[in-house]
Amino acid sequence: MLDVATPLNSLLVAELEVGKHFYWEIGNFKVHGQVFLTSWFVIALLVIASLLATRNLQRVPSGMQNFMEYALEFVRDLAKNQIGEKEYRPWVPFVGTLFLFIFVSNWSGALLPWHLIQIPEGELAAPTNDINTTVALALLTSLAYFYAGLSKLGLGYFAKYAEPTPVLVPLKILEDFTKPLSLSFRLFGNILADELVVGVLVLLVPLFVPLPVMALGLFTSAIQALIFATLAAAYIGEAMEDEHHEE
Amino acid sequence: MLVDTILLAAEVAEEVEAGGGLFDFDATLPMMALQFVILILVLNAIFYKPLGRAIDEREDYVRNTEKEARDRLTRSEELAEKYERELGETRVKARDTIAKARAEATKIANQKVAEAQQEAVKERESAQAEIDRERQEALASLEGQVDDLSRQILEKLVGRELVS
């Protein structure tokens, strides 16, 4: 379709490529190379920040340690609020990594001019811009809350499906499918939509006008990361809730 | 350009048909999941564990130090109270001692004064007695002299023979 576009279009930086992927072939499998490239960047960023923060641990933190401690306290509070004081500690790495990965991914997509780096096909964007990433994260969340429920309550976890009344069993089973679906599509949709809106606006008016939308995109990105991590923690906490003991 | 934008939706639909598209699930999904799990493990080792421990240790340290400080404060307050009490007791004791000493001194002084007065009285009395005695003696000797003199007068007047 873009071939139809006038040469004028190629003079401009702004160009929209949706649904095109930079395929890598690994054995018989195809993967989206652009997603991995940017996700490696995000992972490297996280790892380097962590290494810098923990390189020289001090009782009185400063600089990077202080910043990363702030981040850690933030995700700890998030997990604590959703899962509860007693059980939250083992889940901090999962929930925290969800938040940090999504947050850094989204902001890298919103702040870094990925599109300027040319790759053979498709374009670089936030890793969360790809449905595969968000579904992977959502499925991991499902696995996590199943694991949490089963390890805490054993098979009694499934007994909770019939509470408060057995009429709700089909709904509860349905919920197990809608949870990852809504998680992944919410994140995917928001990030992609934001990128598209910015792209379209840049296409129409390349100067200044897209800025407010970009700022809004930063806000949305942060909120989406927070929502994903909070919901994941809430699902885990809900799965571990022991109704017999709490009443 | 505007045409491009309008045609965007159509383009997307076309791409999906062509095998790419927005909802193109492939091996990216499991690999991304695997990568994410590895990221969790790595971050757990280099971020959550060490930094979490640092935070917990700091919390412990702060709590302990605070507790210690509070203990010390209580102890120092107790000590201060004790000193205050001891000071009060000592002050009372000192006042007692002073009062006692003053009373004793007064007593001694009174006693001394009384003694001195007594002595003075005694001395006056003895002096009086001496005076009395000496007057008596003087009177007695005067009486003797009276006898003598009257005798001599008599002798002179009537002659020695008559007198004896």
β-strand partners of A24: A31
Burial of A180 from C-beta contacts in 10 A (0-12 / 13-18 / 19+): buried
> What's the pLDDT score for residue B5?
47
What's the rounded Cα separation, in Å, for the pair A44 and A61? 23
> What's the pLDDT score for residue A192?
87
Per-chain mean pLDDT for chain B: 85
Q: Where residue B15 falls among pLDDT bands split at 50, 70, 90?
A: very low
Per-chain mean pLDDT for chain A: 83
Three-class DSSP labels, B49-107: HHHHHHHHHHHHHHHHHHHHHHHHHHHHHHHHHHHHHHHHHHHHHHHHHHHHHHHHHHH
- Interchain contact A2–B (C-beta under 8 A): yes
Q: Where residue B2 falls among pLDDT bands split at 50, 70, 90?
A: very low
Both tokens assigned to B147: 């006898």
> What's the pLDDT score for residue B18?
44
Mean pLDDT of A125-148: 89
Determine which of A141-145, B33-37, B72-76, B145-149 has the lowest per-residue pLDDT on average: B145-149
- Interchain contact A225–B (C-beta under 8 A): no
Q: Where residue B17 falls among pLDDT bands split at 50, 70, 90?
A: very low
> What's the pLDDT score for residue A10?
44
Mean pLDDT of B4-32: 61
Indicate yes or no: CB of A68 within 8 angstroms of CB of B47.
Answer: yes
Nearest to B12 among A18, A50, A127 (CB): A18
Indicate yes or no: CB of B55 within 8 angstroms of CB of A73.
Answer: yes
- Interchain contact B52–A (C-beta under 8 A): yes
Q: What is the CA radius of gyration of chain B?
A: 65
Determine which of A11-25, A97-111, B128-142 has the lowest per-residue pLDDT on average: A11-25
A198 vs A137, more confident: A137
Indicate yes or no: CB of A36 within 8 angstroms of CB of B24.
Answer: no
Determine which of A166-175, A197-206, B132-141 has the lowest per-residue pLDDT on average: A197-206
What's the rounded Cα separation, in Å, for the pair A192 and A240? 33
Q: List CB contacts (< 8 A) between B28 and chain A.
A: 31-32, 35-36, 130, 132-133, 136
Indicate yes or no: CB of A1 within 8 angstroms of CB of B10.
Answer: yes
Mean pLDDT of B140-150: 87
Indicate yes or no: CB of A18 within 8 angstroms of CB of B28.
Answer: no
> What's the pLDDT score for residue A16?
61
Q: Is the pLDDT of residue B8 over 70?
A: no
ipTM value > 0.85: no
Q: Is the pLDDT of residue B16 over 60?
A: no
Mean pLDDT of A8-12: 44
β-strand partners of A25: A30
Task: Please compute, for residue A9, the number of CA atoms within 13 A of its CA located in the half-sphere on the CB side.
Answer: 17
- Interchain contact B46–A (C-beta under 8 A): yes
Q: List CB contacts (< 8 A) between B16 and chain A.
A: 19
Count of C-beta atoms within a 10 Å radius of residue A72: 21
> What's the pLDDT score for residue A244?
58
- Winning range, highest mean pLDDT, from A204-213, A230-239, B90-99: B90-99
Q: Where residue A15 falls among pLDDT bands split at 50, 70, 90?
A: low
Q: Is the torsion defined by CA of B34, B38, B44, B47 positive or negative?
A: negative
Residues 6+ apart with CB under 8 A from A69: A53, A61, B51, B54, B55
Q: Is the pLDDT of residue A177 over 60?
A: yes
**For the segment A64-88, what is each residue's pLDDT rounded down to a tens digit?**
888 888 999 999 999 999 988 888 8
What's the rounded Cα separation, in Å, for the pair A79 and A96? 8
- Interchain contact B29–A (C-beta under 8 A): yes
Q: Is the pLDDT of residue B24 over 80?
A: no
Instruction: Report the candidate in B48, B162, B11 with the shortest Cα–Cα distance to residue A20.
Output: B11
Q: List CB contacts (< 8 A) between B21 and chain A.
A: 19
> What's the pLDDT score for residue B20?
64
> What's the pLDDT score for residue B107?
95
Indicate yes or no: CB of A21 within 8 angstroms of CB of B58.
Answer: no
Q: Is the pLDDT of residue B96 over 90?
A: yes
Q: Is the pLDDT of residue A120 over 90?
A: no
Both tokens assigned to B158: 């009537």
**For the segment A192-229, what is each residue's pLDDT rounded down to a tens digit?**
888 888 888 888 887 888 888 888 889 989 999 999 99
Q: Please identify among residues 167-206 of chain A the ones whose CB lies closer than 8 Å to any CB of chain B.
A: 192, 200, 203-204
High-pLDDT (> 70) share of chain A, % = 90
Both tokens assigned to B95: 């006042």
Nearest to A26 among B27, B51, B55 (CB): B27
- Interchain contact A5–B (C-beta under 8 A): yes
- Interchain contact B32–A (C-beta under 8 A): yes
> What's the pLDDT score for residue B6?
46
B68 vs B154, more confident: B68
What's the rounded Cα separation, in Å, for the pair A226 and B139? 140
**For the segment B50-87, what is each residue's pLDDT rounded down to a tens digit?**
888 888 899 999 999 999 999 999 999 999 999 999 99
> What's the pLDDT score for residue B100?
95
- H/E stretch holding A231: helix A210-240
Q: What is the CA radius of gyration of chain A?
A: 21
Mean pLDDT of A160-178: 86
Nearest to B5 among A69, A133, A203 (CB): A203
- Winning range, highest mean pLDDT, from A22-36, A42-56, A128-142, B118-132: B118-132
